[in-house]
Amino acid sequence: MSPFAEDVAIILVEPQSPGNIGMVCRAMANFGFVDLRLVNPCDHLHPEARKFAVAAHPLLGSARVFPDLASAIADLRLSVATTRRGGRLRGELLDLARVPELRRSLSAGGRMGLVFGREDAGLTSDEVALCSHAATIATFTEVGSLNLAQAVLLFIHELARQPATPGKEVRERSELGELEGLFGQMENILARIAFLNPKRPQVVMNSLRRIHQRAALDVRELRMLRGMWSQIDWSCRDWRGRKRGED
């Protein structure tokens, strides 16, 4: 492994304990991970965080704070939501051991994020949907959840065990922030033409997200789709809605 795993960001969503943030920093330092991102966190500079970070306390000062998950992952090419809960809205859950494959799917210079949720509630379904992939750690059902720092340690250890060299003929993915622009455009138009259920638009939108995320769109493909949806937007601007009685 290289001295610093700069291609992987560790993202904590609304961490509630300064001590846990400190322990995450210590785990990151053990394996050379340096990019810590915090979404609406508790006081990450609290003395307790420094205490549990031990020699890794400089990571607390260099951590970047974001108001929401979408902004925290916007510059990444892929992101992995870590969760123990499955469900129709959450899509396929990969096993922890498959996460290094995702890292190798990145083109040179591409970056990925590992996203961890709140200590008491994890990630919401909408937050999981924002990520390009979701992964889980197989545990006994009776005691399924792990401490935040333990979960981070297991994921980064798995990444550290396997080389980060990209495979052959790797395509360059679009940044996740650019994909969000596409999804927002799609949702606005589909809502206007009454394709979405206004009470649960995420049912369709999460499926569309998964389809496009599996496709690993490159910049050219994304631009083509943005242009196509812009043309659809222009073409249906005078649309009066569904005809009465239409399914």
**Tell me: the pLDDT tens digits for 159-190?**
998 876 655 556 788 889 999 899 999 999 99
How many residues does the structure list for the chain?
Answer: 247
Q: CATH code at 22?
A: 3.40.1280.10
DSSP letter (8 states) at residue 192? H
> Amino acid identity of 168?
K
pLDDT value for 46: 96
Does the pLDDT at position 15 exceed 80? Answer: yes
Mean pLDDT, range 128-157, rounded to an integer: 87
Largest CA-CA distance found in the chain, in angstroms, rounded: 68
Does any domain span residue 49? yes
Does the pLDDT at position 49 exceed 60? Answer: yes
d(CA 152, CA 205): 29
Q: Torsion over CA of 112, 18, 96 and 173, rounded to 10 degrees?
A: -10
Which one of 103-112, 126-135, 137-146, 171-180 scores highest in mean pLDDT? 126-135
104 and 141 in one domain? yes
Which one of 1-5, 57-61, 89-93 scores highest in mean pLDDT? 57-61
68 and 121 in one domain? yes
Structure tokens that stand for 157 in this block: 């250890």
230 and 188 in one domain? yes
pLDDT value for 87: 59
pLDDT value for 169: 58
Q: Output the pTM of the full model.
A: 0.84
pLDDT value for 138: 83
pLDDT value for 6: 86
d(CA 34, CA 174): 23
129 and 25 in one domain? yes
Per DSSP, the three-state class of 237 is: coil
Burial class (CB in 10 A: 0-12, 13-18, 19+), 62: exposed
Residue 231, Cβ neighbours under 10 Å: how many?
A: 10
Mean pLDDT, range 127-152, rounded to an integer: 85
pLDDT value for 5: 81
Residue 182, domain extent: 176-235
- Name the percent of the chain lying above pLDDT 70: 87
- CB-based contacts of 231: which residues, under 8 Å, 6+ apart? none
121 and 56 in one domain? yes
Mean pLDDT score across all residues of the chain: 87
For the ranges 37-41, 63-67, 141-145, 215-219, which has the lowest average pLDDT? Answer: 141-145
Q: What is the spatial order of strands in the sheet that 133-136 belongs to?
A: 64-66, 35-39, 8-13, 112-116, 78-82, 133-136, 94-95
Question: What are the E-state strand segments in the chain?
Answer: 8-13, 35-39, 64-66, 78-82, 94-95, 112-116, 133-136
pLDDT value for 237: 77
Does the pLDDT at position 246 exceed 60? Answer: no
Domain end among 102, 130, 161: 161
d(CA 89, CA 67): 24
Which one of 47-61, 74-88, 181-195, 219-233 scores highest in mean pLDDT? 47-61
Structure tokens that stand for 109 in this block: 């210079």
The answer to whether 2 and 32 are in contact (CB under 8 A) is yes
Q: CATH code at 193?
A: 1.10.8.590
Does the pLDDT at position 4 exceed 60? Answer: yes
